[in-house]
Structure 1
Amino acid sequence: MIDLYYWTTPNGHKVSILFEETGLEYSVRPVHIGKGEQFAPEFLRIAPNNRIPAIVDHAPADGGEPIALFESGAILEYLADKSGQFLPRETRARFEVLQWLYWQMGGVGPMAGQNHHFVRYAPEPIPYAIERYVKETARLYGVLDRQLAGRDYVAGDYSIADMAIYPWAKLWEMQRQRLEDFPNMAAWLERIGARPAVQRAYALVEKVNEDPQALLTAEARKLLFGQ
């Protein structure tokens, strides 16, 4: 059994998608980031950066003590290796996937995250910041759209790279993007969204988060952004 410390954010969805795709047995441990549960001492022992997701694998491959991991990219790589799925062993194919996983971790996640912050969460609009991150999000989706030309998935076969990028790209409208500017990405979003495992992963939202607007309150903003 693997414990998944989770909330209904893009980074949380990445890992729930992989669990559903692989069939690995897992138990969801909600961490309500709008209520400050990410600062609980017991969670910080697992995830010292006070961010979800995190996991605890109680049956690691080496047979030793449970393994705790934070950072969604590391978790995806670990679970892919544990399951033997969605991350090739062969060197060239493996690093084709990993470079796009790291591209999401270093580019799409931070830039789209800042986009979300200044477009949706900031207490007052800052035009320069909004323009900066909306344009950078568009640039990154242009990179993705070109990569998807003539292929179904980012690194050839469906992989953890697709699972990492999808939950962020799915929010294109919130990010003030025009999907018609990225036709290959649009087809890819539809293709992944139709997968039963992805639909099961997103169904967790209704089970875990009764109020998706809770992160928009003033109190939640103070907890999330240190305001």
Structure 2
Amino acid sequence: MIDLYYWTTPNGHKISIFLEEAGLPYRLHTVNIGKGEQFAPEFLRIAPNNRIPALVDDEPADGGAPLSIFESGAILTYLAEKTGRFMPTDLRGRQEVSQWLFWQMGGLGPMAGQNHHFGTFAPEKIPYAIERYIKETARLYGVLDRRLESRDYVAGDYSIADMAIYPWIVPHERQKQNLADFPNIERWFTNIRARPAVQRAYALVEQIAARA
């Protein structure tokens, strides 16, 4: 059984999407970051950077003790290796997926996150910062749109790269991005949003809100 420590953020959605796509049984543990639960000592033992998501696998492939993993990209890679799904086995295919996974981790996620912060959450609205991150988000959308011009998915078949990127495109309106300006992203986004596993993963948001 897999224990997923989760909150309803883009990084949290990445892992719930994979688990739903792969049909892996998992227990969901909510970590309400609005209440500071990510700083609880028991969570820090699993995720020393006090960020969600984190995962504990009670049945790792080596047959050893339960394995805990933090960082969403590392979790996606681990799950892909564990299941043999959503990651190519050939050298070149793996590198394609890895590049776009790291592109999301090092580029789209941090820049869109700053966009969210300065545009929505910052107590002081700083025009320079807002403009900077809106423009950088738009640049990254342009990179992704060009990548998707002649392909259905980011790196060959549907993969952990798509699972990592999609949740960061969901809040495009908050990021002041119009998907109509990026027709290849819009097509890709619509197709992924229609996947039953993605819909199940996002239904967790409503379930958690109902319990709050």
Do the structures match in fold with TM over 0.5? yes
| Residue identity in the other structure for 2:48 | P
Q: Does 1:133 align with 2:130?
A: no
| 1:99-127 Cα deviation digits (max 9, x unpaired) | 00000000000000000000110002100
Q: Partner residue of 1:42?
A: 42
RMSD, aligned α-carbons? 1.1
Q: Partner residue of 2:66?
A: 66
Q: Percent identity?
A: 72
| 1:138-168 Cα deviation digits (max 9, x unpaired) | 0000000000001100001100000000000
Q: Partner residue of 1:221?
A: none
| Residue identity in the other structure for 1:114 | Q
In 1: Cα distance, 2:8 partner to 2:211 partner: 11
Structure 2, gaps ≥5 residues long:
none
In 1: Cα distance, 2:102 partner to 2:39 partner: 26
Q: Partner residue of 2:77?
A: 77
Is the alpha carbon distance of 1:115 and 1:203 closer, same or farther for their aligned partners in structure 2, counting shifts above 3 Å? same
The answer (yes or no) to whether the contact 1:8–1:209 under 8 Å persists in 2 is: no
The residue correspondences of 1:85-100 to structure 2 (distance < 5 A) are 85-100=85-100
The residue correspondences of 1:1-227 to structure 2 (distance < 5 A) are 1-210=1-210
What TM-score, normalized to structure 2? 0.98
Q: CA deviation at 1:171?
A: 1.1
The answer (yes or no) to whether the contact 1:61–1:82 under 8 Å persists in 2 is: yes
What stretches of structure 1 move > 4 A for 4+ residues in a row? Answer: none
| Residue identity in the other structure for 1:69 | I
In 1: Cα distance, 2:93 partner to 2:83 partner: 17
In 2: Cα distance, 1:83 partner to 1:168 partner: 24
Q: Partner residue of 1:224?
A: none
| 1:22-70 Cα deviation digits (max 9, x unpaired) | 0111110000000110000000000000000000000000000000000
In 2: Cα distance, 1:20 partner to 1:83 partner: 13
In 2: Cα distance, 1:154 partner to 1:39 partner: 35
- Equivalent position SS for 2:175: coil
Structure 1, gaps ≥5 residues long:
213-227
In 2: Cα distance, 1:18 partner to 1:209 partner: 21
Greater length-normalized contact order (CA 8 Å, ≥ 6 residues apart): 1
The answer (yes or no) to whether the contact 1:118–1:129 under 8 Å persists in 2 is: yes
Aligned residues: 212
Q: CA deviation at 1:211?
A: 8.7
What TM-score, normalized to structure 1? 0.92
